[in-house]
Chains A and B, each alone.
Chain A
């Protein structure tokens, strides 16, 4: 096995007094299929949410290829904090005395149908702006600077590890309770999944420049291929919300694959599927892995888990009780107990 792609180190998730995940460490090897199993309420989905950035782990850290995907405090962030601060400072300083400034720089200098002394007006505006004294100029400037810069800073610090940051690092997921974009077509759902790889800008899109059209046509072609891959190639223009349940699950997988992630996290992909669909799904999961994408899945369907995974992690009451290959887990008395209960003796 090669280096680990995800390493969750001693992750704990607490919600108030409830500890949903306690001190769980999970290593996911590159190119493997890893399953996380456990009874309902064991904290599997919470662990997924912590990994994908929906929650920030209370304790512990989660690395992807040895790196923690976070927005760093780089020059852009600092520059934008400063810029926002200065902009707010001047906005506030102008706003509190806007009538006085207007009178000084426009009304007193403008005579009807005569040339307007622009330079003089600018000077008058400046001297009036900074001539408001302590309360008129400096306090508004200071308040604006502090609130603008700190507001921008707070927004940055709160969005350091949001799902979009994690997703940009190449982590894609599906949801236990399917979360498609129901009113968009299948193709559009998949193209939204591709968004991270698209580059066309606002102006190109607004004017429908050839570059934007070309990108759109390419994205569409790729989306059709992906839909074919998951077996939905025949109804690409339907609204996603109209699909039967099993197909919606496949569409979610196609959407997650569209970003060409390094790792894809599947949350109960076989839920609600009939036996035939389940077999197809197992083939699909293996095909995804064979195409080079690492797979992590939560699943209750033991056939899927035992038939596909290289490594299994077992959670119960938020704690990891076992880890191993399918054969090891099958024969682990603790796991059997967690699922089936203890055998009554005597």
Chain B
């Protein structure tokens, strides 16, 4: 008798190893923590996309639009130039809620479209959102972006002392080479760009919670409905499942996660950036992470995010730097600057995966049995 509760461990072994690996990253240098935040943000974006593409089987080419919506909602609701100023956590919650609402708004009238047609609608939505954000410059500040935006905080603690004071005490005590002073414990909770390690750990906790929630959904009634709709919509209908509702829920949850990731990225950058930062490339990058990592597999998506973003933000710049210090590289020449290879590597990764391992680096549990 296979024990039914075995699957309700919060994480699989693979997920624990990957989350542990991510947690250990700052040991290899603080700069890794800074790029680690990007890895986490893209992992969340790809987890959202996976619910729509991997689990429900709907091709979605405009996930970046929801990230943009999340970033701008976070921007508008937290920036000092507007009266709302909800703070970091309020901003994140609002971004996810608005993302879900936008998902419903796009999904409700269009989810009855099948296959390619839905992909075209999502692609168009991605372009429309960018253009709308660009042109609503009274609200979104156009190509300038909304800034500055608040960074991550742990609630309650930042009230004790202002950020600059803590950073100042901290740096002075470090400069003195003195032992950690009595008041410095406050600094541990104070998260800022000067201490990206703590910020990174906070984001890692958020990612872990999302992995846990996604995993619960995967084995829930709703998850089974998604799979059934993906495998055979008519058969699912004949089992009294309403595919439209299941798809709409997938769309809304996927959009909420994408919006959350957008807000988290905006918080890291302290700016929403310009609307064209959330273009088709980002949607494709998220899709690459899902496909390369293993479509439908949470563990696979963590791997995909680490591989793709690691390649993009850590490995290629590091190689470029190394080549430059060695005197063989120059930023002016495309061929001698691996930093410019990122789209090439994405394409290459996709082609190689399709040829040698079409189910992704980590097979989803269903594909294993094939």
User: Which single member of A54, A193, A213 contacts B234 (CB below 8 Å)?
Assistant: A54
Q: Scan B228-259; emit 1 where CB is below 8 A from any A CB, else 0.
A: 10011011111111111000010000000000
- A:161-198 near B, CB below 8 Å: 162-164, 167-168, 172-173, 175, 179-185, 188, 191-193, 195-196, 198
Please judge, given known A-B contacts A181-B228, A184-B366, A239-B369, whether A206 and B213 are in contact too, CB under 8 Å.
Answer: yes
Q: Are A193 and B239 in contact (CB under 8 A)?
A: yes
User: Which single member of A98, A163, A202, A208 contacts B136 (CB below 8 Å)?
Assistant: A98
Shortest distance between the CB of B365 and any CB in chain A (Å): 9
The residues of A that contact B139 with a CB separation of less than 8 Å are 98-99, 102
| Contact count A vs B, C-beta below 8 Å | 133
Q: How many residues does chain B have at the interface if contact means C-beta atoms less than 8 Å apart?
A: 43
Cβ of B220 within 8 Å of any chain A Cβ, yes or no, is yes
Cβ of B2 within 8 Å of any chain A Cβ, yes or no, is yes
Q: Are A99 and B136 in contact (CB under 8 A)?
A: yes
The residues of B that contact A181 with a CB separation of less than 8 Å are 227-228, 231-232, 235-236
Q: Are A99 and B232 in contact (CB under 8 A)?
A: no
Cβ of A255 within 8 Å of any chain B Cβ, yes or no, is yes
Please judge, given known A-B contacts A99-B139, A116-B83, A167-B237, whether A192 and B242 are in contact too, CB under 8 Å.
Answer: no
Cβ of A327 within 8 Å of any chain B Cβ, yes or no, is no
A109-B225 Cα distance, complex, nearest whole Å: 49
Main secondary structure of the interface of A (DSSP, over half): helix
Q: Are B220 and A205 in contact (CB under 8 A)?
A: yes
- A:147-164 near B, CB below 8 Å: 151, 159, 162-164
User: Which single member of A107, A112, A195 contacts B80 (CB below 8 Å)?
Assistant: A112
Shortest distance between the CB of A103 and any CB in chain B (Å): 6
A124-B8 Cα distance, complex, nearest whole Å: 52
User: Closest 4 interchain pairs by CB?
Assistant: A205-B220, A116-B83, A181-B231, A167-B240
> Apart from A184-B231, A195-B240, what are 16 other A-B pairs with CB-CB below 8 Å?
A54-B238, A107-B138, A109-B83, A110-B83, A151-B109, A162-B237, A164-B237, A167-B237, A167-B239, A168-B240, A181-B228, A195-B241, A202-B222, A207-B216, A213-B8, A238-B369
A and B contact pairs by CB, cutoff 8 A, 21 listed: A110-B83, A162-B237, A164-B240, A167-B237, A179-B234, A180-B231, A180-B232, A183-B231, A184-B224, A184-B228, A188-B224, A192-B228, A192-B241, A193-B239, A200-B220, A205-B216, A217-B4, A217-B5, A237-B2, A241-B370, A259-B239
